[in-house]
Amino acid sequence: MPAARALCDLIRHFGWFVTLMGAASSAHATNTPPDHDEASNQWQFAITPYLWLPVVDGTLRFSLPGGGADASTGPYNYLQNLKFVFMLQGEARKGTWSIFADAIYLRFGRRESSVNAATGLFRPRNSERSFETSLRGTLIQVGGGRTVMQTSWGTVDAVLGMRYLGAKATLDAAATGSLGTGASVNPAVDVAQVQNIFDGFAGVRGRLSITSDGRWYLPFYLDAGAGSSKFTWQALSGVGYSMKWGEFSLTYRYLAFYGSGDQLVQTLRFNGPSVNVTFRF
């Protein structure tokens, strides 16, 4: 069941995150907090260009003449399949309040895929079939947050927002075979479908200091929500270093969507490392 699979993924990927939080908070309870001036009335801004290299995989449901097909997508190879990528984050903060945005565009070329079910067009006797899928997606996240905890070992913000995923997928399918009469058949289908997903989410984000001066820290993020998707969730953690002009961090990020019914996106998962450079002004 998609919902059960989503819950298992959430528990499995969040276990290490809870461990890191507990270890850091107990080992560094006397550390000074990072530079977040709760009493400041000045706006502070940050821009973060980053490179996320996720493994992308899932299941897509295509509507075909006379029926449909569930096709696997990915895992995509960045060196072989990636055609274009754009990633950028931004944040504005004033005191304990913040607003943030995240934009990603990914385009993957064709890749061989397996199909779990297909129409009669692809079931002639003695048939040989070939399926390929391609995927492109635009992800935009916007939200706001408020600092709910600020201690010597770090900060925690409660966040609320909206996540949009515009997914376009294609299925190229061909079959060659013979009928009982001996006649050859070569049916082919080239289908492109689009789905726009709007999900609300709620969660937490923040950082845990791991040195007395707060320069080295553990960033963390977790949210869950629903909307056009039956369920969606996202988690992130890693290690970062603060400097006068900004920050540098290495993180691991997991993002998943779970659909239902005849939606194009049945499951879609992104997970992998990310290199991030933040400029503050």
pLDDT tens per residue, range 215-228: 999 999 999 999 99
Domain contains 266: yes
Close Cβ partners of 141 (under 8 Å, ≥ 6 residues apart): 100, 101, 102, 103, 161, 162, 163, 164
Residue 26 located in a structural domain:
yes
Q: What is the pLDDT of residues 167-209, one digit of tens each?
A: 998 888 765 444 444 444 445 667 888 999 999 999 999 999 9
Residue 49, domain CATH? 2.40.128
Lowest mean pLDDT among 62-66, 159-163, 277-281: 62-66
CA–CA separation, 84 vs 40, rounded Å? 40
128 belongs to a structural domain = no
Residue bearing tokens 């934009």:
103
Residues 22 and 25: their CA atoms lie apart, in Å, by 5
Work out how many domains the chain is built from and give that number: 1
Does residue 184 sit within a domain?
no
d(CA 10, CA 5): 9
Residue 44 counted as domain residue: yes
Q: Phi-psi category of 5—alpha, beta or left, where left has phi over 0 and alpha has psi -120 to 50?
A: alpha
- Do the domain assignments include residue 183? no
